[in-house]
């Protein structure tokens, strides 16, 4: 798969809830591999951004599957971990606003409130259950991707807050978005 296989708003599938995976099959493992390939292809096409994770719905597969880059600080590290049926079992820490982007919401960033620490339960690619405690940016990644599994996109958390929207400029710097222009240009994104 390539970056062209990643669906973007206003595709209505991004607003649908994904279904739980009953049994981890070769098809599920293939979907996880496709997700990783699409993320890496997207990542390699961007100078100032890094693809850190993807949910299956973003390649138009309505399964509760996410892949998360093992080292989101190193763009050269192309390894990912798959999480099947990921579920947040506990929210901890404080709620902090920080920047998020999304491969399915091109060129738009937002300051989104998220918990600073969470606990996640999931299945691995062999169908074995495991747990992860995530803090900081990794906790934000999990919350963002698990939202995707529930038909929620990050902009849903900041609708009606023009000051929370940003764009990336040609030098890779975040700049305040012209929210009014963006809404008028793409009203379906904001519904």
Q: Which of 145, 163, 170, 184 is catalytic?
A: 145
Active site residue 145: yes
d(CA 85, CA 83) in angstroms, rounded, equals 6
Helix, strand, coil shares of the chain, percent, nearest 5, are 30, 35, 35
Contact 177, 169 (CB under 8 A): no
Write a three-state SS string for 67-128.
EEECCCCCCCCCCEEEEEEEEEEEEEEEEEEEEEEECCEEEEEEEEEEEEEEEEEEECCCCC
40: closest CA among 83, 78, 81, 82?
A: 78
d(CA 191, CA 181) in angstroms, rounded, equals 15
| Number of other residues whose CB lies within 10 A of the CB of residue 144 | 22
Q: Please identify every residue annotated as catalytic.
A: 145
């Amino acid at each position: 798969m390539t970056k062209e296989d990643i669906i973007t708003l206003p595709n209505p599938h991004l607003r649908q809830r994904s279904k739980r995976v009953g049994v981890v099959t070769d098809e599920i493992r293939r979907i996880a591999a496709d997700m990783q390939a699409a993320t890496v292809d997207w990542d390699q096409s961007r100078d100032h951004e890094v693809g850190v994770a993807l949910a299956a719905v973003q390649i138009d597969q309505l399964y509760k599957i996410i892949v998360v880059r093992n080292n989101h600080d190193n763009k050269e590290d192309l390894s990912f971990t798959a999480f099947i049926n990921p579920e947040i079992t506990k929210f901890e820490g404080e709620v902090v606003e920080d920047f998020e982007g999304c491969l399915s919401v091109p060129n738009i960033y937002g300051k989104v409130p998220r918990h600073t620490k969470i606990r996640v339960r999931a299945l691995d690619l062999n169908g074995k259950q495991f747990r992860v405690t995530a803090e900081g940016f990794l906790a934000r990644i999990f919350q963002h991707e698990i939202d995707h599994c529930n038909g929620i996109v990050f902009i849903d958390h900041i609708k009606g807050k023009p000051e929370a929207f940003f764009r990336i400029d040609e030098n890779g710097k975040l700049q305040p978005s012209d929210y009014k222009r963006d809404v008028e240009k793409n009203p379906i994104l904001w519904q």
